[in-house]
Amino acid sequence: MSQNPQKSGSCGCQSQIHQHNEKHEHEHEHEHEHEHEHEKCCNNGCESINLSDNDIPVSSDTQAVYRIRNMDCPTEEALIRKKLANMQGIVDLEFNLMQRILTVHHKSADLVAIEAALSAIDMGPESILNSDHDKNVDFTPVIKWRQLAVAGVLALASEIIHFISGPDWLVFVLAIVAIVFGGLGTYKKGWIALKNLNLNMNALMSFAVTGAILIGQWPEAAMVMVLFTLAEAIEAKSMDRARNAIKNLLSLTPEKATVRQPDGSWLDIDVKNVVIGSHVRVKPGERIALDGDVISGQSTINQAPITGESLPVEKSIGDAIFAGTINEAGSFEYKVTALSTQSTLARIIKAVESAQGTKAQTQRFVDRFAKVYTPIVFLIALGIAIIPPLLFNGVWFDWIYKGLVLLVIACPCALVISTPVTIVSGLAAATRYGILIKGGMYLEQGRKLKYLALDKTGTITYGKPKQTDFFSLGQLSALDTQIIAASLASRSDHPVSKAIALAAKDAQLNLLEVNDFAAVLGQGTRGVIGSNQWYLGNYRMVESLGFGSSTLAQQITKFEQQGKTVVMLIGHDGVQGLFAVADTVKETSVEAIAQLKKLGITTLMLTGDNQHTANVIAEKVGIDRANGNLLPEDKLSVVSELSQKGIVGMVGDGINDAPALAKADIGFAMGAVGTDTAIETADVALMDDDLRKIPQFISLSKATFAILVQNISFALAVKVIFFGLTFAGDTTMWMAVFADIGTSLLVVANGLRLLRK
């Protein structure tokens, strides 16, 4: 499993954070401080604060987490950022719009003042603990549909009476009442924005409606406000679908589990109260409530909710099972290995929620564009309203009306809302395939991959090689040679060592005690058995000990040309035994490499195995280039070289891959199911050992970017068209509202298409 110290989840690892920041520096050069990469290193490592009314609101070097009930889109984010920007003690602000979470990183800040500031702009802050993020919170917006319906009827009545030349006073009364029923919320938000010198869409709409009232366009003012409020409500409901795509993952685990009691009886209890080590029983057809290991019975488990695998997986005693998966056949018992809040599924949910706060490059561009665009358009609308009448004898009514129409169509809502919805939909869709993406930047960058470097053992191959050949070369007996080698091998977790140890176990050999055992990076292992120092390693180790020879090298080459890896037992008087080990290629690897080639990606294999073995495996799989005999620093060097030519990804599953994974633009961790480190540190974690998920990831990245381009282009095109129609005098305010709202709904719906599996 990939163990990447450069991407540690600990806040204390400042040097590792610095290394990781270097990797993505080009992605953040224009980013606000809150979006620096250290967020993803520290999100889960810092302690949050939960304030009660009686708590002293002062803390140091920590964070306060709030659920912001009225934060729906970047409009509110900008308002909050402006309100809190200059408050003393605040170090950073981190936003998760989809989950309505605001994390305030601070140092000795006055938390009461922070909450008061948030309340002053009607954000409805609720202080929470990090653990509360797991709660199944109801985000459904409170929409007063009946009141909105009444406002709509009154606005329509005002339009009809005005059309049939009815009494002006009645038209006015109906319009004003419709605005009061349907638009007070917008006016309130607009006033708060203006007080804080923030020109958001609520402020623009408030200006437009007020201006229409002042120039006597009462029915149109009412209809514009009602349509805008209705659109806001529909848009909020549409946003909920993307938001709930993450929240609904929580429903995959049952609320209760059948747990064995001390007296041997079985009782259904809340999963939150089940402790590690408890014995749980699962019946056919039930969802598994907690992570654990099977202790009795066997069954087939549908792991699709976690890994995306289409076929059920056989499970028997000793096998790991995961919360949220489905028991399809037999009944079995398992021992709980993780609390409900620390299950693999819970960690996936936390990772995806955290990823939503890491903005993609397109999203950052759109946010910056909207920040400049809105005030410019407001000034243009103001100029249109007053300059022609003042300087060119234009009719005041006509030009003021055109300015108001321009204000309505200028609202950047469709533009800014399309990117987060699309990105979150892509992140949620990836989890259905068993792909965990740690941020929007990686989802968007995947389409740019030009090179993909892959580790061999456990990535391309199964990583479970078997001993195929053994030769005794020294004065020791063949049996003693095998026993000593297996004794050293049993202390190592390297796949080659495991193969030698397994062969000894199958032969029922009794192993010896090893003292002063140590791993020699890139060469093998060493240890003391009895009073003698022994070494078990590759030819590089043999040469370093001064026992290399042309005859031995030729013998090794013969095995390597067959795709086998050779290690030797070395004593004080030379090489005593030669062991050949062979691994098998995953069938899925061949298919994955073929798919990657169709996507135009150059593949290369980086392995510590000899070059002959690397060439044989590369040829079997179809990899473009194979580099063998590599130490971890050599893998890092290759990835560094490739990064100068284009976007490079690195796929690995071991600690020796960590430097290269950190250097790559996108690091892929293989087989992340059940492993804390991979889920917490990888840029992209593949929840099983299937390399075909990488082409899926790249295809999803391309689809996401295509939808982003479609949404942005469509939103801008509609605005440009209506700007032209406005100058030509061929639009009305309610037409502008329909255009703006319709565009917003269409881009949201387009972004949600990614949720289709």
pLDDT 10s digits, 132-146? 444 444 555 566 778
- Sign of the CA dihedral running 659, 662, 664, 670: positive
Lowest mean pLDDT among 115-129, 471-485, 706-720: 115-129
Structure tokens at 472: 């005794």
| Arithmetic mean of pLDDT, 408-418 | 72
Closest listed residue to residue 404, CA positions, set 220, 131, 138, 662: 220
pLDDT at 20: 40
Lowest mean pLDDT among 111-125, 420-434, 664-678: 664-678
pLDDT class for 27, splitting at 50, 70, 90? very low
pLDDT at 676: 59
Q: Is the Cβ–Cβ distance between 206 and 192 less than 8 Å?
A: no
Active site residues: 455
Residue 131 has pLDDT above 50, yes or no: no
Q: What is the mean pLDDT of the chain?
A: 80
What letters, b where the CB count within 10 A reaches 16 and e where it falls short, cover 39-77?
bbbbbbeeebbebeeeeebebeebbbbbbbbbbbbbbbb
Cα–Cα–Cα angle for 691, 693, 699, rounded to 5 degrees: 130
Question: What contacts 750, CB < 8 A, 6 or more positions away?
Answer: 418, 422, 707, 710, 711, 714
Residue 563 has pLDDT above 60, yes or no: yes
The owner of tokens 């020294």 is 474
Q: Is the Cβ–Cβ distance between 403 and 5 less than 8 Å?
A: no
Q: How large is the angle between the packed helices 396-410 and 733-752, nearest 10 degrees?
A: 10
Q: List C-alpha distances in Å: 228 to 182, 483, 749.
A: 9, 80, 18
Distance CA 260, CA 518 (A): 43
Closest listed residue to residue 223, CA positions, set 173, 183, 189, 186: 183
| Arithmetic mean of pLDDT, 463-482 | 89
- Return the half-sphere exposure (C-beta side, CA atoms, 13 A cut-off) of residue 9: 18
pLDDT at 308: 64
pTM value is 0.65
Out of 145-159, 659-673, 699-713, give the one with best mean pLDDT: 699-713
Q: Is the Cβ–Cβ distance between 284 and 299 less than 8 Å?
A: yes
pLDDT at 654: 58
Phi/psi of residue 571, each to 5°?
A: -115, -170
Regarding predicted confidence, which is higher, 188 or 533?
A: 533
Residue 3 has pLDDT above 50, yes or no: no
Residue 19 has pLDDT above 70, yes or no: no
Residue 16 has pLDDT above 70, yes or no: no
